[in-house]
Chain A
Amino acid sequence: MIEKFSEGRMVVFFFVVAGMFSMIHPATSMADALSPFKGESGTIKISGGTAHIPVMKEAAKRIMRFNPNIRITIAGGGSGVGIKQVGEGLVDIGNSGRKATDAEISKYSLHMLKWAIDGVGVVVHPQNPVKALSTKQLLDIYSGRISNWQALGGLDKPITVYTRDKSSGTRAVFWKKALAKGDITDKAHFVVSNGAMKAAISQDPNAIGYVSVGHIDESVASVALDGVVPTLETVKQGRYNVSRGLYSNTRGEPVGLAIKLLDYLLSPEGRQIVADKGFIPVK
């Protein structure tokens, strides 16, 4: 929720500044990929998956610097929210970190576009000596059967398990592929976005959680699962298999500014943004 509020505000504020800036320095070098936005004006409203936010923010920043008459707002909420809001017509693009279900597609006549592949990595506090787990150990931690780091070669401290709510696409993928739909202990703490997960893990020395690989940085330590460290490389090579697509959904075929934004994400420049933010662009 924090992310929803603060990011939304900050993004809007940033764009106003970026817009003013562009009047002084016309961005000529980016004109190629951005030229479809020339002469356009209007608003694009985006919400949903929180893994998508860094890419969406960067793309929006560039588009709005190129053409200040376009306003793009980005909110979080999770994949479930993205699909629901785009289906109800509240936003133009609803992001999801999982495929929409058949029921959702037919109910809202959703049109899905997959523009990146992303891993979901297990993370712990940087000071935690445990940096590798087997799938069996992970299952035991998440089900609550192992509740102390000592059993895993760490300090004699209780494990705090962090998870996401059911509307999270990150959770859906992690639960299906890493936990094999196993139980999650009822003592698990719930956080509401990838950003909030990272903040919680970086604060709590006894924590374990999972975030989009694109969000992993030095504030948290990634944990090798069955010997494979979740990184951009291992996800790309297919060696780390807790991965998923990042989708942007529209109700029906995308039209107007929405399709231009989605096309931009698929352009060489857009794909570069995707890669810079730690995801694997889709061809």
Chain B
Amino acid sequence: MKIGERFSEKIFLLAATISVVATIAIFSFMILLGLPIISAGHLIDVLTGSWSPDHGVYGILPMIIGTLAISSLSLVFAFPLSLGCSILIAVLSSKRISLLVRKTVWFMTGIPTVVYGFVGVFLLVPIVRELFGGGSGMCILTAALLLAILISPTMILIFVDSFERVPRSYLMAVDALGGNRIQKLIHVILPCSWQGILTGLALALGRAMGDTMISLMVAGNAVALPRSVLDSTRTLTAHIGLIIAADFDSLEFKSLFVCGLVLYLFTSIMVIMIRRLDARAGSRVW
């Protein structure tokens, strides 16, 4: 018994160490390989410039803008959808419908993004092109719509979870006061679960930023700075996917590590935000 306990403790410690070391190693690896660009004083140029490898210009600003534009717009689409859906599951609908919707959402979390991308190319792209006239239909809007479908399940499940964590006594108090379900929702459930909602938003935003396949397939990957949601754009992840085949020694290839660092930074900010919210939620006494 004792030996088994000590052994499993060692195993868990090892697993924890490996994951921490891996994370730090990846970060240092990217800094190390991005160093030629950083130390040559090109960092500002890379972060603020445009991309034109034929002219020796390796700026990633259009990709940073593209990533932010697509992921934030997808959040705008997905948030109301997810909020409505989670309210339906957790508060409004009957047990049977609730379970059905919940099962569907669970199922949706497992669909690979390449499937969404593929469907998007053949269904959504022509619709967007015809509806808005001009352009190719491969644009920020199309990618954001698809990403919204991708990130909604994550948000819905987290929202539902936080709605269900509202103490029963609170809900019973509303019932005792003669409040209806809508009043219960607006005055008790939503105010009690705002941290869960923010966590869901942050997690979904992180997922939207990290996705490669959808933007690579339906956003068109143009390197111009987008001026409207109907312009084609390229995200940081799609950019890495496209340039990865370049020569190892080229400046083009090395600029990818700056892309990686920026992405790493974005997701780190998301994770830190979630942590802080969770910590506050945990310390709260019901």
Contact = CB atoms under 8 A, between A and B. Distances in A.
Question: Do A and B bind?
Answer: yes
B221 A190 contact: yes
Contacts of A105: none
Given A5-B114, A203-B126, A165 B220 contact: no
B243 to A, nearest CB: 7
A166 B121 contact: no
Interface residues of A, number: 31
Contact of A187 (B114, B213, B232, B247): B232
Interface in A242-276: none
Contacts of B53: 166
B103 to A, nearest CB: 28
A195 interface: no
A189 B221 contact: yes
Interface stretch (B86-94, B131-139, B157-165): B131-139
B242 A189 contact: no
A191 B234 CA distance: 11
Interface residues of B, number: 38
Interface in B227-245: 231-232, 234, 241-243, 245
A158 B135 contact: yes
B66 to A, nearest CB: 12
B242 A2 contact: no
Nearest to A79: B245
A46 to B, nearest CB: 16
A25 B151 CA distance: 50
B220 A78 contact: no
A77 interface: yes
B220 A190 contact: yes
Contacts of B252: 166
Interface string A161-198: 00001110000000000000101111111111000000
Nearest to B250: A166
Interface in B216-272: 216-217, 220-224, 231-232, 234, 241-243, 245-248, 252
B222 A183 contact: no
B50 A186 contact: yes
Nearest to A77: B245
Contacts of A2: 114, 117-118, 217
B143 to A, nearest CB: 12
B122 interface: yes
Nearest to A164: B242
A207 interface: yes
Interface string A144-170: 000000000000011010000111000
B114 A189 contact: no
Nearest to A184: B54
Contacts of A204: 125, 129, 136-137
Given A167-B246, A199-B121, A189 B222 contact: yes
A77 B222 CA distance: 19
B121 A165 contact: no
Contact of B135 (A160, A167, A183): A160
B52 interface: yes
B207 to A, nearest CB: 19
Interface in B83-124: 114, 117-118, 121-122
Interface of A: 1-2, 5, 77-78, 80-81, 84, 157-158, 160, 165-167, 181, 183-192, 199-200, 203-204, 206-207
Interface of B: 50-54, 62, 114, 117-118, 121-122, 125-126, 129, 134-138, 213, 216-217, 220-224, 231-232, 234, 241-243, 245-248, 252
15 contacts: A1-B213, A2-B114, A2-B118, A80-B247, A158-B134, A160-B136, A165-B242, A165-B243, A165-B245, A185-B224, A186-B51, A186-B52, A188-B223, A199-B121, A203-B126
